[in-house]
Amino acid sequence: MRPLLLVAVGGFAGAVARHAVAVALPAGFPWGTLAVNVAGSFALGVVLYEVRLTGRLTPELRLLVGTGFLSSFTTYSTFAVETAALSPTFAVANVGANYALGFAAVLAGRAVVRTAVSGEVSR
């Protein structure tokens, strides 16, 4: 029951945060969805590489943040629907931006963790 509660609490917080970002950014282009997908990719990159390289995050925190918060904060379905509603030129730009920036954000998250880990090793 506890894992389910952790995912639910994280999911609620992620959905609320995603809505707040979408409302805060200008309309016309899906800036909010792009922002949450890139930020979420970065955060998930940090979480996953932290687990792989140091293992300090507890399984409970990974459920709360990774499975709960970040899965509700980022959104593929909204990305797909918003992209389908755009003109072909903007749709291509949106797909390219989400994928390119999302991959770059994961790599940046990994780099942050690697830098932090290497800094700890050299101390």
Going from the C-alpha of 31 to that of each of 23, 105, 117, the distances in angstroms are 10, 16, 33
Domain that holds residue 54: 2-122
Q: Over the chain, what is the mean pLDDT?
A: 94
pLDDT at residue 118, as a whole number: 86
**Number of compact structural domains in the chain:** 1
pLDDT at residue 42, as a whole number: 98
The alpha carbon dihedral of 33, 36, 39, 42 has a sign of negative
- Taking the C-alpha atoms of residue 12 and residue 61, their distance in angstroms, rounded to an integer, is 15
Residue type, position 56, single letter: R
pLDDT at residue 121, as a whole number: 58
- Taking the C-alpha atoms of residue 30 and residue 41, their distance in angstroms, rounded to an integer, is 17
Going from the C-alpha of 37 to that of each of 23, 69, 115, the distances in angstroms are 15, 12, 23
pLDDT at residue 1, as a whole number: 87
Using DSSP's 3-state secondary structure scheme, residue 84 falls into helix
